[in-house]
Structure 1
Amino acid sequence: MMNNDNPEQDNIDQEAAKWVARLNSGSVTGEDRQHFNAWVAQSPAHRQAFFAMRNHWQNLGQAAQQSSTPIPQRTKSGKPWMMVAASVLLVVSLSLAYPRLQDAVLADVMTVTGEHKTLSLEDGSTLQLNTETAVAIDFNPQQRTIRLLHGEAEVIVAHDPSRPLVIVSGHHESRALGTDFSVARIGETCTVTVFESIVQVSDHNNVIGLLKPGEQLQVSDNSQQVIKTAVNLKEANAWRDGKLAFTARPLHSVIAEINRYRPGHLFLLNNKAANRPVSGVFDIAKLDESLVVIADILELRPVQMNGYVLALY
Structure 2
Amino acid sequence: VAPLGGWLAWRLYDAAAWDASVRTAVGERLRHVLDDGSVLHLDTDTAVDIAFDSQQRLLRLRHGQVLVETAADPRQPARPFVLASPAGRMQALGTRFNVQHADATTRLAVLEGAVRIVLAATGQQRVVEAGTQVGFRADAFAPTQAIAAGVDAWRHGMLVVDAQPLRRVLEQLGRYQTGWLACDDAIASQRVSGAFPVDDPDRSVAMLAAIHGLEIQRGPGGLWTRLRAGTSR
Q: What TM bracket, shorter-length normalisation?
A: 0.7 to 0.9
Q: Which residue of 1 aligns with 2:182?
A: 267
Higher strand share: 2
**Alignment map for 1:135-214 (pairs within 5 Å):** 135-160=48-73, 162-204=78-120, 206-214=123-131
Partner of 2:175, secondary structure, is helix
**For 1:69-114, what per-residue CA distance to the aligned partner results, in whole angstroms no more than 9, with x for missing partners?**
xxxxxxxxxxxxxxxxxxxxxxxxxxxxx95630424411110111
Determine if contact 1:128/1:155 at 8 Å carries over to the other structure. Answer: yes
Q: 1:121 aligns with which of 4, 14, 34?
A: 34
Higher helix share: 1
Q: 1:225: Cα distance to partner?
A: 5.0
Q: Work out whether 1:231 is the aligned partner of 2:147.
A: yes
Give the gaps of 5 or more residues in structure 2.
Answer: 1-9, 229-233
Q: 2:191 aligns with which of 277, 285, 294?
A: 277
CA separation of 1:144 and 1:254: change in aligned 2, threshold 3 A: same
State the identity as a percent: 33
Q: Work out whether 1:102 is the aligned partner of 2:14.
A: yes
Q: Work out whether 1:297 is the aligned partner of 2:223.
A: no
**How does the TM-score come out when normalised to structure 1?**
0.64
Q: What is the one-letter code of the residue matched to 1:171?
A: A
RMSD, aligned α-carbons: 1.8
Determine if contact 2:87/2:105 at 8 Å carries over to the other structure. Answer: no
Larger C-alpha radius of gyration, 1 or 2? 1
Partner of 1:285, secondary structure, is coil
Q: Which residue of 2 aligns with 1:242?
A: 157
Give the gaps of 5 or more residues in structure 1.
Answer: 1-97
Determine if contact 2:91/2:117 at 8 Å carries over to the other structure. Answer: yes
**For 1:161-213, what per-residue CA distance to the aligned partner results, in whole angstroms no more than 9, with x for missing partners?**
62011011003001001221121111221011101001011114734321111
Partner of 2:140, secondary structure, is coil
Q: What is the one-letter code of the residue matched to 1:218?
A: G
Please give the alpha-carbon distance, in whole angstroms, between the structure 1 residues aligned to 2:54 and 2:196.
Answer: 42
**Structure 1 stretches of at least 4 aligned residues deviating more than 4 Å after TM superposition:** none
Aligned residues: 213
